[in-house]
Amino acid sequence: MKKGLALIAATSLTAVSAPAFAQDTGFSGPWIAGVAGYDINKAGSSQDDDVNEDRDESVEGLMYGAAVGYDIDLGTMVVGAEAELTDSKADTDYDDNFNTFGLGAVDAGRDIYVGARAGFKATPSTLVYAKAGYTNARFNYVGTDGETNYNRSLDTDGLRLGAGLEQKFGTNTFGKIEYRYSNYKEGEIDFESEDVADSDRFDIDTDRHQVVASVGMRF
């Protein structure tokens, strides 16, 4: 009899705990995602060359990386914080080292983003959101003083704005698609050679447009 009662109790506990374990927590909690998309870098409005349009050549290519974040589901609204590290295949073969889209003949490098997002639920499983935050992007290029070639990196600081759509596929998986615009206003040249000091910070104006997709898991 005692064994029967124990079996019934254990079965009941399993029946109660299983739905709780599988419970859908909405859009709350930490998450991680893979990111990939198309990356376009070009001169900002103050760097456009109206005389020689070739010097406004854009730098385009595939970007990829990973993102992490934490969201709080408030019912009809969701707010959260996120961070992202990506790299890019965007580059140019334009041979003027000093004029291409205001930076030079470059290839886009790593990009660090930290920001926040807020959105509303279009349906219980669909989130429409906007985002904003800080981005630090690196552009790699080679310059010369006529005798020596210098490998250099330009580290830039800017603001990112974006909007997107997140769709839940189950209790803990999701997909996202979003558009992001970034503008970089300050830069610093980082000479790769140890005996060459980094430059002082200076003003730039570079625009970045990205259309990206993500697939992730919420914990």
Cα-to-chain-centroid distance, residue 77: 22
Cα-to-chain-centroid distance, residue 148: 35
- pLDDT, one tens digit per residue, over 167-215 is 999 889 999 999 999 999 988 877 666 565 566 777 888 899 999 999 9
Query: Sign of torsion, CA 113 115 119 124?
Result: positive
Query: If you average pLDDT over residues 114-125, what whole number do you get?
Result: 97
d(CA 101, CA 136): 18
Mean per-residue pLDDT over the chain, rounded: 80
First and final C-alpha spacing in the chain: 41
**Residue 104 — very low, low, confident or very high, per pLDDT cuts 50/70/90?**
low
d(CA 70, CA 30): 4
Query: If you average pLDDT over residues 66-93, what whole number do you get?
Result: 93
Architecture of domain 28-218: Beta Barrel (2.40)
- Residue 18 in 3-state DSSP? helix
All structural domains of the chain with their residue ranges = 28-218
The DSSP element (H or E) to which 106 belongs, if any, is: strand 106-123
d(CA 126, CA 104): 42
85, amino acid identity: L
Percent of the chain at pLDDT > 70 equals: 67
The structure's pTM equals: 0.78
Contacts of 218 (CB under 8 A, 6+ apart): 25, 27, 29, 30, 31, 71, 172, 173, 174
Query: If you average pLDDT over residues 120-141, what whole number do you get?
Result: 95
